[in-house]
Amino acid sequence: MDSERILTRLRAEGYDVVGSYEDANLVVVNTCGFIDDAIHESLEAIGEAVARNGKVIVTGCLGAKPETITDRHPSVLKVTGPHAYEEVMTAVHEQLPPLHDPFVDLVPPQGIRLTPRHYAYLKISEGCNHRCTFCIIPSLRGDLASRPIGEVMLEAERLVKAGVKELLVISQDTSAYGADLKYATGFWGGKPVRARFTDLARALGSLGAWVRLHYVYPYPHVDEVIPLMAEGKVLPYLDIPFQHGSPRVLKLMKRPAHAENALARIRAWRETCPDITIRSTFIVGFPGETEDDFQLLLDWLQEAQLDRVGCFRYSPVEGAAANALAEHVPEEVKQERHDRFMELAAAISAEKLSAKVGRRMRVLVDAVGDEGAIARSTADAPEIDGVVRILDAGSLAVGDWAEVEITSADDYDLNAVVLQPR
Ligand code: SF4
pLDDT the model gives residue 23: 81
pLDDT the model gives residue 154: 96
Q: 153-164: per-residue pLDDT in tens? A: 999 999 999 999
Among 48-52, 109-113, 391-395, whose mean pLDDT is lowest? 109-113
Supply the DSSP string of 269-284, one letter for each residue. Answer: HHHH-TT-EEEEEEEE
Among 93-102, 324-333, 401-410, whose mean pLDDT is lowest? 93-102
Ligand 1 atom nearest residue 135's Cα:
8
Q: How far is the CA of 280 from the centre of ligand 1 (A)?
A: 14
| Phi, psi dihedral angles at 340 (to 5 degrees) | -65, -40
Greatest mean pLDDT range, 95-99, 103-107, 134-138, 289-293: 289-293
Query: Which residues contact ligand 1 via a Cβ below 6 A?
Result: 128, 130-132, 135, 137-138, 172-173, 217
Q: Are 127 and 140 in contact (CB under 8 A)?
A: no
Secondary structure of residue 322 in the 3-state scheme: helix
Ligand 1 atom nearest residue 138's Cα:
5
Secondary structure of residue 400 in the 3-state scheme: coil
Ligand 1 atom nearest residue 243's Cα:
7
Q: Are 185 and 194 in contact (CB under 8 A)?
A: yes
Residue 104 has pLDDT above 70, yes or no: no
Among 160-169, 194-203, 319-328, whose mean pLDDT is lowest? 319-328
Confidence band (pLDDT; 50, 70, 90) for 18? confident
Q: How far is the CA of 63 from the centre of ligand 1 (A)?
A: 19
Query: Which residue puts its alpha carbon closest to atom 2 of ligand 1?
Result: 172
Q: Is 296 left (phi over 0), alpha (psi -120 to 50) or beta?
A: alpha
Length of the chain, please? Answer: 422
pLDDT the model gives residue 205: 98
Q: 114-152: per-residue pLDDT in tens? A: 666 899 999 999 999 999 999 998 998 899 999 999 999
Query: Which residue puts its alpha carbon closest to atom 1 of ligand 1?
Result: 130
Among 43-47, 82-86, 407-411, whose mean pLDDT is lowest? 82-86
Average pLDDT rounded to a whole number, residues 84-105? 66
pLDDT the model gives residue 82: 77
Confidence band (pLDDT; 50, 70, 90) for 421? low
Q: How far is the CA of 134 from the centre of ligand 1 (A)?
A: 8
Amino acid at 419: L
pLDDT the model gives residue 100: 47
Confidence band (pLDDT; 50, 70, 90) for 109? low
Ligand 1 atom nearest residue 136's Cα:
8
Q: How far is the CA of 135 from the centre of ligand 1 (A)?
A: 6
Average pLDDT rounded to a whole number, residues 164-181? 96
CA 407 – CA 390 distance, rounded (Å): 10
Q: Where are the alpha helices (DSSP H) in 254-412?
A: 259-272, 291-304, 331-354
pLDDT the model gives residue 103: 43
pLDDT the model gives residue 51: 86
pLDDT the model gives residue 20: 81
**Residue to mutate, 35, 128, 143, ligand 1, most ligand atoms under 8 Å from C-beta:** 128
**Residue to mutate, 32, 172, 242, ligand 1, most ligand atoms under 8 Å from C-beta:** 172
What average pLDDT does the structure give for the chain?
89
* Sign of the CA dihedral with 384 first, then 260, 225, and 149 last: negative
CA 322 – CA 135 distance, rounded (Å): 8
Burial 145-165 (b: 16+ CB within 10 A, else e): ebbebbebbbbbbebbeeebb
Q: How far is the CA of 2 from the centre of ligand 1 (A)?
A: 19
Closest C-alpha among 310, 221, 319, 220 to residue 261? 220
Average pLDDT rounded to a whole number, residues 190-210? 97
Q: 327-349: per-residue pLDDT in tens? A: 899 999 999 999 999 999 999 99
**Helix or strand (DSSP H, E) at 105:** none
Average pLDDT rounded to a whole number, residues 250-254? 95
Confidence band (pLDDT; 50, 70, 90) for 50? confident
Q: 267-311: per-residue pLDDT in tens? A: 999 999 999 999 999 999 999 999 999 999 999 999 999 999 999
| Lateral strand order in the sheet of 78-79 | 27-31, 56-60, 78-79
CA 41 – CA 33 distance, rounded (Å): 9
Query: Which residue puts its alpha carbon closest to atom 8 of ligand 1?
Result: 135
Average pLDDT rounded to a whole number, residues 193-217? 97
Q: Are 214 and 200 in contact (CB under 8 A)?
A: no
Q: Are 340 and 298 in contact (CB under 8 A)?
A: yes
CA 232 – CA 211 distance, rounded (Å): 10
pTM for this predicted structure: 0.78
pLDDT the model gives residue 7: 73
**Residue to mutate, 124, 136, 146, 173, ligand 1, most ligand atoms under 8 Å from C-beta:** 173
pLDDT the model gives residue 79: 87
Burial class (CB in 10 A: 0-12, 13-18, 19+), 401: middle
Ligand 1 atom nearest residue 131's Cα:
5
Q: How far is the CA of 201 from the centre of ligand 1 (A)?
A: 21
